[in-house]
Structure 1
Amino acid sequence: MKKGYKWLILFLLWWAYFLNQADRQLFSIVLPQIKAELQLTDTQLGLIASILTWTFGLLVPVAGFIGDKVSRKKMIGFSLLFWSLATILTGFCSTLLQFIFLRGVATGGGEAFYAPAANSLISDEHQKNKSLGLAIHQTAVYCGIILSGLIAGYIAETYGWRSAFYLFGIFGVLISVIIFFYFKNDIPVRATQPLSVFSVGKVLIKKSTFILLTLAFGCMVFVNIGYLTWMPSLMVEKFHLSLSQAGFSALFYHHAGAFLGVIFGGQLADRFAKTKPIYRLLVQSVALFAGAPFIYWVGMSDTLTISCLALFLFGIFRGIYDANIYASIYEVVSPSMKSSATGIMIMFAFIAGAFSPLLLGVLKPTLGLSVGISSLWVSYFLGGVFIMIAIVRFFRKDRIVHTEFNTVIEK
């Protein structure tokens, strides 16, 4: 029963994460229609996307600290319910300020409370196969983004962009009810050591490996947010695709590759990490270095075929990296700080990454989207460098050994 229960948890969290990513991607898919109807500038559109990410980044550490102290079931359920209602209301927006408040602040704020609790819970329930469990959860990101591109593009072309927000928001409300129902008597509230914000920060700031992994994650998110926001528009402008075609092409090939990569990366890391946990980090570093050239070709290719192939290969290596994001930091963070550490890591990454869509929007009228997106390869390369420094200099010192009795030994 215990084994089946942990997979039930993973199944339900997968759907929650699916909606987390689908709702976040909706704006980028219907962005051309919103721009045309409301006469918003590229900079204003980039600002809306950036505010969502900044709000998410600022609130996610708060969610992390709370997630180490209260029922994670309640955090996950109310988070999904809140951002789904905000998504529904976004369909009624008609001004820039309304988009900033409902799409940027409300949606971003609601989504912030999901990931720390969910990843911490999965890590606890799947201790022997951490990377695999987290990798399966991560596939919801790719499926959510792919299907949102296809479904939202079709709905927007057929019924208008507002209907897309209504549909995904209502679906989210229904899933939140299911989560409350199934999680109500099953998920235990785990007692953890009471720690203040300052004591957690004091411990983590001494972990050089944690800091470098966080910097690398910021580099990856910078690329990801910029690509997700503007790639559908690039497909429309450069290859003259329809909204549904652009949404599908921009998102499917990359995330299909990432889907394959994340499963492979999770299994690979779990296999080698049983004897040498440092391999989790090595897998991530190699993946970032290998993915960088394909990011360049995503923007600079002259044909749709080459661009889609580059997106697929970029996705393969992105997925391999993704499989070990949280499993890697949990190698150097004690169990009582998992949710807090996750929140802090996500905060930094998304605050830094939020500048990407705004920067690309500002540069678009002069340099163009092709040059802007292709230049994101530099960020991936820097991320690989940060992880290599952690491997060579700090990991062995920062490593935490988890014993069978749920205690830790710092080495």
Structure 2
Amino acid sequence: MLWLVCFLNYSDRQAIFALFPLLRVQFHLSNVQLALIGSSFMWAYAIFGPVAGWLGDRLSRKWLILAGLIFWLFVTTTTILAHQFWQLAVLRSLNGIAEAIYFPAAMSLISSYHDATTRSRAMSLHQSAVYAGTIAGGVVASWLGEHFGWRSNFICFGALGFLLCIILILFLQEPVSDLSPNHDTSTGKTKVPNPSLSKITKEILGAPPVLRLIIAFIGANFVAMIFMVWLPTFLYGKFHMSLAMAGMNATIYLQIASVFGVLTGGVLADSLVTRDGGGRMRTQAFGLLVGMPFLFLAGRTSSFGWLIFGMIGFGFAKGIYESNIWASLHDVVNPQQRATAVGVMNSLGWLGGGFAPIAFAFGAQHFGMGDCLSSTSLIYGCVAGLLLWNAKWHGRDRRFDPD
């Protein structure tokens, strides 16, 4: 059920980027204005993230997830009424708040069902919804936009969201035996810890292993946002594809490869972590190092065949890294603070990633889109080095391991 929520969220995120060529014409927008539409979502998502995480450690995660989904449904369907640039930007910001509510509570819920021996695999399966949703958003949105106009996408998403709300109300449950100390199994209610959001955030950011993971996430997310936002437009312009073909080719190869990568990374990390406390982080670093040459190739080649090869390799490597983003974090934070830690890390990662589309837009004006895409391989190299350092020196604190 959580997979379906994540799938729908990412379908909606990717859809707007696939529709950029249509929005540019209808609203007379520049590249920077288009980037701001994407960034407005990311910044709102980032700003509200810590609050969403704090709530996830205190309230029923089921009903928090449902509240976010209902708010998302309202904002998504309202998007069909937008007729000006500022309206689109505001609605995407509200959409970011709605989706921010979901992720910390969902990650905490998964961790409560899975201990350290299966957590990477469980979270990697959930992460596969990101790639499936991105494919669906890019392909379906492009096709619907080309044939029925850009507003038709949000009518479709609204209908699916309504059905999903009913499913979650009927079937989503908190675990019977919650691994988190915040859950009172005798009453079935979540206990409310005393510390404030600011105190918990300070404690989370004061832990060097957590801080290094956050910095790594910001760097990797910066690269991911560039490809998510601008790859359809890059293919549309450089290879003269139709809108539908650009949307499909920008997502399908990269994201399908990511599904295989994320499942591989989950299995590999669960195996390594039994022998090496930093095994999840080493798995992440391995994925980034593998991805570097493919990133460089994707931006530099003028052959569509080699571009596909580059996107497949990058997607597989990206999946290996992303399979352990949250499992690595949960290895080094107190179970009482899992949702808050996810909210803080997600917030800072998306806040940094929110600048990526704008920075890329300015860079592309001077150096071209291809060279700017290739340069992101340097970011991957730096992030891999940071993760290897973290894996070597932090050591997993076994106080946070579930029994």
TM-score (norm 2): 0.93
1:127-138 equivalences under 5 Å are 127=115, 128-138=117-127
Which of 156, 162, 173 aligns to 1:167? It is 156
**Other-structure match for 2:129:** 140
1:136-215 equivalences under 5 Å are 136-183=125-172, 188-191=188-191, 193-215=193-215
In 2, Cα distance between equivalents of 1:290 and 1:249? 22
- Secondary structure of 2:118's counterpart equals helix
Alpha-carbon displacement from aligned partner over 1:78-115 (angstroms, at most 9, x marks no partner) = 11121222122222211111011112x11111111111
Counterparts in 2 of 1:269 and 1:95: CA distance versus 1, 3 Å: same
The offset of 1:404, in angstroms, is: 5.6
1:214-253 equivalences under 5 Å are 214-253=214-253
**Other-structure match for 2:68:** 79
**Other-structure match for 1:109:** 97
The offset of 1:119, in angstroms, is: 0.7
Letter in 2 for 1:30: L
- Secondary structure of 1:277's counterpart equals coil
C-alpha contact (below 8 Å) 2:39/2:355 kept by paired residues: yes
Alpha-carbon displacement from aligned partner over 1:293-320 (angstroms, at most 9, x marks no partner) = 2111111111111111101100111111
The offset of 1:224, in angstroms, is: 0.7
In 1, Cα distance between equivalents of 2:391 and 2:41? 33
C-alpha contact (below 8 Å) 2:144/2:153 kept by paired residues: yes
In 1, Cα distance between equivalents of 2:174 and 2:376? 46
C-alpha contact (below 8 Å) 1:72/1:189 kept by paired residues: no
In 2, Cα distance between equivalents of 1:116 and 1:186? 16
Alpha-carbon displacement from aligned partner over 1:208-255 (angstroms, at most 9, x marks no partner) = 110001111111110111110000001110111111111111111111
Matched, 1:342 2:331: no
Counterparts in 2 of 1:355 and 1:399: CA distance versus 1, 3 Å: same
C-alpha contact (below 8 Å) 1:265/1:320 kept by paired residues: yes
Matched, 1:98 2:96: no
The offset of 1:170, in angstroms, is: 2.3
**Aligned residue pairs, count:** 391
- Secondary structure of 1:91's counterpart equals helix
Alpha-carbon displacement from aligned partner over 1:323-372 (angstroms, at most 9, x marks no partner) = 11111111110100000111111111000010011112223333222122
- Secondary structure of 2:81's counterpart equals coil
Counterparts in 2 of 1:43 and 1:126: CA distance versus 1, 3 Å: same
The offset of 1:42, in angstroms, is: 0.8
Runs of 4 or more consecutive aligned structure 1 residues displaced over 6 Å after TM superposition: 184-187
- Secondary structure of 1:195's counterpart equals coil
In 2, Cα distance between equivalents of 1:157 and 1:198? 47
C-alpha contact (below 8 Å) 1:78/1:176 kept by paired residues: no
- Secondary structure of 2:302's counterpart equals coil
**Other-structure match for 1:33:** 22
Letter in 1 for 2:131: Y
C-alpha contact (below 8 Å) 2:11/2:136 kept by paired residues: yes
Letter in 2 for 1:324: N
- Secondary structure of 1:366's counterpart equals helix
Letter in 1 for 2:235: M
In 2, Cα distance between equivalents of 1:175 and 1:234? 34
In 2, Cα distance between equivalents of 1:342 and 1:253? 29
Structure 2 spans left out of the alignment, 5+ residues = 177-187
**Other-structure match for 1:369:** 369
**Other-structure match for 2:57:** 68
**Other-structure match for 1:409:** none
Alpha-carbon displacement from aligned partner over 1:23-42 (angstroms, at most 9, x marks no partner) = 11111011101101111111
1:12-51 equivalences under 5 Å are 12-51=1-40
Counterparts in 2 of 1:403 and 1:205: CA distance versus 1, 3 Å: closer
C-alpha contact (below 8 Å) 2:119/2:270 kept by paired residues: yes
Give % identity: 31
Letter in 2 for 1:399: D
Counterparts in 2 of 1:276 and 1:233: CA distance versus 1, 3 Å: same
Which of 77, 99, 106 aligns to 1:118? It is 106
Counterparts in 2 of 1:261 and 1:403: CA distance versus 1, 3 Å: closer
- Secondary structure of 1:330's counterpart equals helix
C-alpha contact (below 8 Å) 1:23/1:169 kept by paired residues: no
Range that drifts further, 50-59 or 384-393 = 384-393
- Secondary structure of 1:181's counterpart equals helix
Letter in 1 for 2:60: S
Alpha-carbon displacement from aligned partner over 1:136-175 (angstroms, at most 9, x marks no partner) = 0000000000111111111111101110122112211221
TM-score (norm 1): 0.92
**Other-structure match for 1:8:** none
In 1, Cα distance between equivalents of 2:264 and 2:401? 26
The offset of 1:387, in angstroms, is: 0.9
In 2, Cα distance between equivalents of 1:212 and 1:404? 23
In 1, Cα distance between equivalents of 2:81 and 2:11? 18
In 2, Cα distance between equivalents of 1:403 and 1:115? 21
1:322-337 equivalences under 5 Å are 322-337=322-337
C-alpha contact (below 8 Å) 2:330/2:338 kept by paired residues: yes
- Secondary structure of 2:366's counterpart equals coil
**Other-structure match for 2:315:** 315
C-alpha contact (below 8 Å) 1:331/1:401 kept by paired residues: no
